[in-house]
Structure 1
Amino acid sequence: MYKSILKFMLPVIGLTAGFAHADEFKLKSTDIAHGVFMKNKFEFQGFGCSGENKSPQLSWSGAPAGTQAYAIMAYDPDAPTGSGWWHWQVVNIPAEVTSIPSGNGKLDDKDVIDVSNDYGQKGFGGACPPQGHGAHRYQFTVYALSKKLELPADASGALTGYMVKAHSLASSTIEALYKR
């Protein structure tokens, strides 16, 4: 009997052991918090929105061994598009960088790739849910990457997301909220 229980439990134990590194990788922010509404300064300026279009401060720690670069992605799964809304995708952040200040979301490094957001701009594009649409979730995720990514200059959000997830060693997310 114990052999059959052990036979059943070993795959489960092995599966949970694989997540040990991901639990150590932590994303923090002095500007946003999980489940908390963001301030107006993180709202987009345009598209009927009048915020400051500032990206939040982010910092991370506990990257797994083998991390060669980082990626930051901000996504609204509640946008009424059928495919969500990419607010920010930046990849190939150098491995020695573990924080970014609040600002425009653009990083000054020749290897960093700023992918156009769904507003059609490089860098951060703030929250701008439709008026009266209720609260939207904004998932800010930092990924530890196993290598620097090669992407075409006009990479789509979907292609970028695919490549980031294909080479992710760990990730950590803060899901902030916003409504108008």
Structure 2
Amino acid sequence: MSKNLPYATSASIPSFRLHSSSFNDGATLPPAQTSARFGVAGGKDESPQLSWGPVPEGTKSLAVTVFDPDAPGGGFWHWAAAGIPAGTGSLAAGAGSPDGGMLPAGAFQLKNDAGFSGYLGAAPPRGHGPHRYVVAVHALDVADLGLGAGAPSSKLGPKLDQHTLGRAVITGRFER
């Protein structure tokens, strides 16, 4: 397992393309992806638009995660969705709304570290410096990870370690 991420990273895990029309890889997150709930001016707590592919052969489902490895205490889960059908190639901006209504049939959200299912925008502590928001799409070799809707996102990392065929990653940055 990576020191900074809650799941293993390895050069032997194939990568695939991941793009967001919401922000560019390595760029500062726009207000839409920051947190109104945690007092960021202009924040909207809107999950980013994502498009990816092609996924590795044998992919049976996908998971999407957003993790801040720079948060105090060893990191913070901002979003996790699993059970995404393998043929899915994108998610619209806002798919991580707490009602999950924009996710594909069969997909579900886990609880983020703020305690609710859905996307929580960036909101690092003031003066803590820049934080990275690692957005990852995980291609999985199983259709069911054995976790249900509302399970804590922290339970997802070990499952990803066991079942990831490929992973695509982009990173946004934010500080206040």
TM-score with structure 1 length normalisation? 0.82
148, 158, 161: which one pairs with 1:162?
158
Query: More displaced, 46-55 or 60-69?
Result: 46-55
**1:151 and 2:147 equivalent?**
yes
Distance 1:170 1:28 in 2: 15
Aligned pairs (5 A) from 1:132-143 = 132-143=127-138
**2:157 is paired with a residue of what secondary structure?**
helix
Q: What is the distance in 1 between the residues matched to 2:148 and 2:59?
A: 22
How many equivalent residue pairs? 161
> Which residue of the partner structure matches residue 119 of structure 1?
114
Unaligned runs of 5+ in 1: 1-14
1:166-177 mapped onto 2 (5 Å cutoff): 166-177=162-173
Is 1:68–2:63 an aligned residue pair? Answer: no
CA deviation after TM superposition for structure 1 residue 162, in Å: 1.2
SS at match of 1:72: strand
CA distance in 2, matches of 1:168, 1:45: 33
One-letter amino acid matched to 1:71: A
Verify the 8 A CA contact 2:83 2:106 in the aligned structure 1. yes
Larger radius of gyration: 1
Amino acid at match of 1:171: R
Q: Which residue of structure 1 lines up, in the alignment, with residue 35 of structure 2?
A: 44
CA distances 1:110-153 after superposition (whole Å, capped 9, x unpaired): 52120011111111111000112111000000000101222145
Offset at residue 48 of structure 1 (A): 2.7
Q: Determine which structure has the larger helix proportion and give its number.
A: 1
C-alpha distance in structure 2 between counterparts of 1:160 and 1:114, whole Å: 11
Instruction: Measure how far apart 1:104 and its partner are.
Output: 4.5
Instruction: List per-residue Cα deviations over 1:18-68 (Å, max 9, x = no partner).
Output: 55xx14x11111112221101111111122324011111100012111001
Letter in 2 for 1:70: L
**Residue number in structure 1 paired with 2:175:** 179
Question: How many Å separate the matches in 2 of 1:71 and 1:86?
Answer: 13
Q: TM-score, normalised by structure 2?
A: 0.84
Contact in 2 for aligned 1:76/1:139 (Cα 8 Å): yes
Determine if contact 1:75/1:138 at 8 Å carries over to the other structure: yes
Q: Which amino acid aligns with 1:145?
A: L
String of CA shifts for 1:67-95, please: whole Å, max 9, x gaps.
01100000000111x22000000001011
Q: Give distance in 1, aligned partners of 2:70 and 2:94.
A: 24
| Stretch moving more, 65-74 or 147-156 | 147-156
Query: How big is the alpha-carbon RMSD for the aligned residues of Structure 1 and Structure 2?
Result: 1.9
Gaps of 5+ in 2: 1-9
